[in-house]
Structure 1
Amino acid sequence: MIAIIDYGAGNMKSLQFALNRLHLDSRLTVDEKTIKESEAIILPGVGAFHDAMQSLRLAGLPEILQSEVKRGKPILGICLGMQLFYETSYEDGNWEGLQFLEGEVKRISDSVKVPHMGWNTLTKHQDAPLLNQVDETDYVYFVHSYKVVNHDKKTLLASTSYGGEIPAIVQHNNLIGMQFHPEKSGAAGLQLLKTFGEMIS
């Protein structure tokens, strides 16, 4: 079972629908016992970084997630959920993230239209099992105004280009982040979720 962290930051139903299509059992939850009994965790999210962190803290989730990270459980962060993995966000202030990965979250360059909303291809930076079935001609769907910067380059699996390089997929051991929405990215997104499911088993 995959625990989808349901902390009020996004439409969880479309994600759960995509997982159901792949025959991956999932549960929307903030219950500590359910999270600890899960085989993997997905942290989705849309909206403001600070509001999301406040919601996580009110539910006592940062400590639970930290414990599961240390146990080596696969954890996937999607869109804002990926950004929350990092140390600091400068979205309307200076806010502390979950501190799982080195890096900061800053606004996309004003040289392009913000928010970044639409379909982009991925540029692979290294070979990884997660990308085995993904082609650089595949398009995935982005909706965001902020991106990760000053990150550990060794964690970067794939990027896209929009006003500069945008980390699109990152991985460090059991932590995986996707800046785009795989559940809204057609066949390519479903393939990535399927591969994540295979990594669990």
Structure 2
Amino acid sequence: MNFKNVSTLVAALLLSPTVIADSVSIPYAGFYERLKQVNKNNYQLVEIAFSVPKTDNCKMLSGNITTEKDEFPLTFDKQQRLYLPYDAQLKSDRGLLNIEVKGDASQCGVAMQVRAKTTQQEYKHDTLIAVKNDMDALLDGQQGFPMKYFRKPISGLTFSFAESEQFVTVEIDGKTQAIKNQLQLTSEQLQNLQILKFNVKPSIVSPYVL
């Protein structure tokens, strides 16, 4: 079986997992290199999130991180986001992420997403622009030579809401509208607005890519 690598944004994770039954082992080194770029530049507003997209055929049961001598727990949440340590020793010791899933492991994947560290119910113009700029800078750091010189800037920001929310009220500079699940604002729209308000906080703020 092949454990497919997928990405919700720009470039897929280039990992080479080994699958046994309904479990998968993935080298920690690939995650470390991406975390290194984030930590080196100390981004204040954005981060990288790794996850195993949840489907009927891919439900995480358990996980750990192992080396030849040690074993550590792998932390993940209900949305199957992986909370990974930034640890040079784990890379040096050739650590492995071991994930057990319920379902068909060949239908699973590991996704990488750039997102805001926190979300707010109200945003001012300067904050939105700063978040977008940090996302662009982080993505530039993730691109290897020479591709970084050909990457287009992101097209704006995407505000995602929990599926349990029926409708979300959005107010942009005093004008109100109702949306379902997601709002996407282009760079031009972000540049022109002054105040953005929601009746509930977004669950995720991520790049909008055309």
Normalization by structure 1: what TM-score? 0.26
Normalization by structure 2: what TM-score? 0.25
Structure with greater contact order relative to length (CA < 8 Å, sep ≥ 6): 2
Q: Which has the larger radius of gyration?
A: 2
